[in-house]
A and B are shown apart, each in its own frame.
Chain A
């Protein structure tokens, strides 16, 4: 009797969390997976048909998909690596006391702290200033040079990449700084007693101690790069020459009305991403054997 009531109470107490999880996560994901297996589209006359893996099969045969997938992976990997390097550098710089540190901290954190739309406009004007000056002429020439060397749209894509790095390094830097501050200073001091080489101390002590934070930073950097749709769209105003999975899927679904293929497209890289995240999770919380 009592036990049955306890169990009911337990479910009752769990209910808010479960409802939130189901409505906010499980339902949309489930719906998307289901949609990717159908020909759902507002343009279809008849009833929505279940088409199995047809959408995925077509994707695999579509060179446009492979192009978008490659761009996405390269975009994510490159931005992630650069953000990590820059962010770690900034964090190490800010970890030591110096005059004006608060100001530098503010300057570094600003790109992230501002709303994306404002940052985007700031960035846009950095690259194509609204007022004609020697600088704007120079930037115009840069765009021309890059686009004629690498093809139209290259400058725009470079801009998107740099924007992602600019804003992401800011976040990664502040995030890793918090990580460094969470490590007892004695661990660094102890290393200073044993080695003069800052480089060796960095690799043997700082990096291993920061590993959980680095893993989490990679995780966040990767997911934001993979899901980066809004910034690409805002910076290019939809004139996208180098589509990533996100923009390609958006185009397909919202402009083309093809919900089924678009869902399949947006899910296509999920297994890859999940595998990477799984590895990262093991890094930031490695299972450890308890003492015998």
Chain B
């Protein structure tokens, strides 16, 4: 068990600057998730920790050792790959024992460790099989088992659930979380799936174009996104963004655009004051919108027309238009509307966000 430090970490290929000045302190026993769209540098960062990619500049420390020049084998890490990377010519047992055999562990110790891991993962019955005789979920378990038996200081997961079908993915997600709570080993987990990131991570690192956008606990990222990208990336459906102008009227700040005019919540009016008569981006999450009732203040509601209705059972997603602006709202499943209906929406004033149009940073 160990902490992992990344200091001014950079990776450059011939043409591409894949990872830029990454600074990250991963605490002992922490489950940290690197998330971002493809090409954001998350996998490259993980592979540098593993030692599969050379570090162009910067430093990685595992425990109290700088590992930059250590070969992968000596870094005391274990990695789980997206496509499982099981050896087709070995049985499940041999696959799980592979790392220990390479390290010349005594046979009884190997047998004990493999047996323990197989029990934790519920794959005792499969030990004599070859990978090709296993289902996707079983293979994934074996791949995880191969990492567990090593008792490494750090687990590295590279999109381990991406090849599984949706149902199995949810199930394995829960199992991985349970496993981490049991083993308490530091883990770095890479995924492009923000739901996986939110549910698994003690902290989540959002990356884009090689830069870290924000590091934080899942609810912190959701509630206080540092910039427009994080705001749009975390949460499903995505946050609505509307380009608005800040206006001063009757002693209060308002933001307005064609078809939409709402008051700036008092808590934000101080910071937004500097943007008077400038454009900013208004961000509202679909779940922070609701059908307006008589008691809702006119300051925080606006008129829309229903374009598309998507009933999901537990909720309904509405695609609406407020003037030319497309807005998605998540409403109660009891709401009965159809295409073309007029509807007044109210928003949670304290959950509205604003972003600088140039820097895209939260205001």
Chain A interface residues (CB < 8 Å from chain B): 184, 186-187, 189-196, 200, 204-205, 208-209, 211, 288-291
Contacts and interface: CB of A to CB of B under 8 A. Distances in A.
Contacts of A194: 73, 98-99, 102-103
14 contacts: A184-B85, A186-B83, A187-B87, A192-B73, A193-B50, A193-B52, A193-B77, A193-B78, A194-B103, A205-B87, A288-B130, A288-B132, A288-B133, A289-B133
Contacts, number: 58
A288 B132 CA distance: 10
Contact of B83 (A184, A191, A289): A184
A209 B87 contact: yes
A192 B72 contact: yes
B358 interface: no
A195 B85 contact: no
Interface residues of B, number: 26
The 10 tightest CB contacts between A and B, nearest first, are A186-B85, A291-B133, A195-B102, A194-B102, A194-B99, A208-B89, A186-B81, A190-B85, A193-B72, A196-B73
A197 to B, nearest CB: 8
Contacts of A211: 89
Given A288-B130, A288-B132, A290-B133, A193 B99 contact: yes
Interface string B42-62: 000000001110000000000
A54 B74 CA distance: 69
Contacts of A192: 51-52, 71-73
A195 B133 CA distance: 27
Interface string B14-56: 0000000000000000000000000000000000001110000
Contacts of B98: 194
B87 A208 contact: yes
A184 B87 CA distance: 10
A212 to B, nearest CB: 10
Contacts of A193: 50-52, 72-73, 77-79, 99
B133 A189 contact: no
Contacts of A184: 83, 85
B223 interface: no
A200 B102 contact: yes
Contacts of B81: 186, 189-190
A208 to B, nearest CB: 4
Given A186-B85, A189-B85, 16 more contacts: A184-B83, A184-B85, A187-B85, A191-B102, A192-B52, A192-B71, A192-B73, A193-B51, A193-B52, A193-B77, A194-B102, A204-B102, A205-B87, A208-B89, A211-B89, A288-B132
Contacts of A187: 85, 87
Nearest to A189: B52
